[in-house]
Amino acid sequence: MTALQTSDANRRSDPALERRAAPRADPPVSLEDAAGALQVLRHGSADDSTLRFDLPPAVKATVSPTIASLRWTAVLFGMLFGAARSAEGDLAIVVSTTIALFFTTWRSMLPLRLASERRIDRIKPITDGLLLGVAIGFSDGLVSPYAFCLLAAATVAAFGWGTVHGVLCFGAGLGATWVTAELANSNPEWTTQPALGVVVGTIAAVLLAGFARARLLDAERKRVALAGRVDTLAETNDLLHILNQVARTIPTALDLREALESTREQLHRAIQPDVLCILSTDQGDQWDAQITDGCAVKPTTQLNALPAAAQDALAADGVLRFDRLAGQGFGPTSTNGIYAALRTRDRTVGVLAVEARNAGTLGESQQRLVSGLADVVALSIDNARWFGRLRTLGAEEERSRIARDLHDRIGQWLTYIGFEVERLASDDESEELTRLHGDVQTAIDELRETLRSLRTTVTADRPLTVTATEVIDRFTERRDIEVDFVSTGADHLSVPVENELLRILQEALNNIDKHAGASRVDVRWDVGPDRALLTIRDDGRGFDLESGVRDTAYGLVGMRERADAVGARLSIDSRPGGGTTISVSIESADTEHTRSNHAVTHRPGR
């Protein structure tokens, strides 16, 4: 399985833009925070105070109500035990009550953001301690009825940020209590048993809150890790299921179209991309479009014309994911994509691309899926390609059998019908019978030409130079098209290879006859020591390559399959009104020396 890589070149941010952002605005809520809030809702409540606190959802839902209850309990305790002094007009206890009520109401409406890493949020619990220290400093210090308000504040600080924060809050409260008491001349008691009890109780509460916080955070980390492992196992199971579905097609889907359709179906079912593109190659810089869902790709594309993301994937060792394409993909509106080079048997056989229009659609799970499928798809394409070559090279015997059947059955019947129609026409000089006799003769001539084409084959004694001359000669006898055939080089290729090139020439001439409207055709056959090249050029109407090749254009598709069967490269160059040029090149390491140069011009009617 290929290694995973993620392109992060498109994730850099502009510091200048960040500095210009509103400095006092609250940070945006991330997707993780939103997901955590939704998890908490089913347990009862969710608010901003625990949004960034990594606690189990069930615990997180109870934190805010528990803190509010603790604060109000401390205030009510102080009001209960200070009610008598307030009734007597004790100004100090009235001030303490006012500050405690104001603070508790304020914190109920604007609670602390527990565990927040923002500096202002970390300072707030310390200021709470200072404010409550001032409140209890007015009324007897640590033996004040409102001393438990400071205990509650220190406990909340320890639970939200740790034991150290709780100690700092309590220390700030003690300092504010001493300063306020000195300024107010309230002469608080510091060493009495109740005062020491408050100190010991607060320290114990801080330690307990810090310990509970640590245990809860550890439990949540384990829960998240376990959930992550479960999710990974689920994704792995899905990946194995899809790989199994695709892998099961390898022994049976030896047809390239069938293999590609199976791949397309599995990818659309698993990923649902907006763009799916698979291109294949045969060890060259020419790439043939096989699947182009959601994008427009030429039938044949050069390597340097591929999108930048695809070129990067071909140069990399693993699967690449781009979170910001910025026009670098196959689809003009794609914003993110995943790309994988298809490699097997130490060869690159293609490239696979999946893209999405909505940002964030393709993530790590989809990247792992494409990584797992890449090897399977590459092997499937390569197997189908080799099987197609064997099937094409083994079709000559079938062509001969079909030719015999056509001659023995249909040919004889057409000849018999022609004789009978001719006899009837001679007895009854009917114009319709005469026209019917002419149509039958035309059908017989077409059948004879078809039989000649099927029976024309390259042999060791009749190389491509000879058979091509015969094919072109028959073509010019039947059609008002001038054909110039030039063969250069003193070598020829192996019989199976030249046979496929002959079929390509026949199909090209057939397409010219039916579609091109040409008046002249130039055919060049050059065999060198290292390379052979067959070129068919016409001056016909041509066609637009940008519009692609239709699935029903069997002639062009068949030529590509035949070229691929012998390891040749077929290229088509055409434009409307500018004619068409078909070139087939092949490495000719297995050439044989047989004959001298050959040049013939065939004119209509010869």
3-state secondary structure string, 285-301? CEEEEEEEECCCCCCEE
CA distance 396 to 368: 44
Pairing of β 580-587 and β 531-538: antiparallel
Residue 597 DSSP SS3? coil
Using CA atoms, how far apart are residues 272 and 270, in angstroms rounded to an integer?
6
- For residue 205, which of 174, 160, 163 has the smallest C-alpha distance? 163
Residues forming beta bridges with residue 574, ordered by sequence position: 580
H/E element holding 204? helix 193-247
Can you give the pLDDT at residue 18? Answer: 39
The answer to whether 342 touches 282, Cβ cutoff 8 Å, is no
605 contacts: CB under 8 Å, gap ≥ 6: 476, 477, 480
Q: Which two tokens stand for residue 570?
A: 């077929």
Which residues make beta-bridge pairs with 337? 322, 355
Q: Which residues pair with 601 in a beta bridge?
A: 484
Residues 303, 288: Cα–Cα separation, whole Å: 10
- DSSP H or E stretch at residue 338: strand 336-344
**Of 241, 242, 235, 239, nearest in space to 263 by CA:** 242
Identify the pLDDT of residue 517.
83
Instruction: Please tell me the distance from the alpha carbon of residue 202 to that of residue 192, in angstroms, as a whole number.
Output: 16
The one-character DSSP state at 246 is H
Name the amino acid, one letter, at 490: A
Backbone angles phi, psi at 258, to 5 degrees: -65, -40
* Residue 265 pLDDT: 83
Q: What is the pLDDT of residue 188?
A: 67
Residues of the chain predicted below pLDDT 50: 1-4, 6-27, 29-45, 250-252, 548-552, 589-591, 593-598, 600-606
Give the whole-angstrom CA distance, residue 71 versus residue 108.
9
Determine which helix (DSSP H) or strand (DSSP E) holds 393, and give its type and residue range: helix 364-393
pLDDT (tens digit, 9 = 90+) per residue, 524-569? 988 887 788 899 999 888 887 655 444 435 567 778 777 877 778 8
CA distance 153 to 195: 17
Q: CA-based diameter of the chain, in Å? A: 146
Phi then psi dihedrals of residue 345, to 5 deg: 55, 40
pLDDT at 398: 57
CA pair distance 422, 477, nearest whole angstrom: 25
Closest CA to 599 of 525, 536, 530: 525
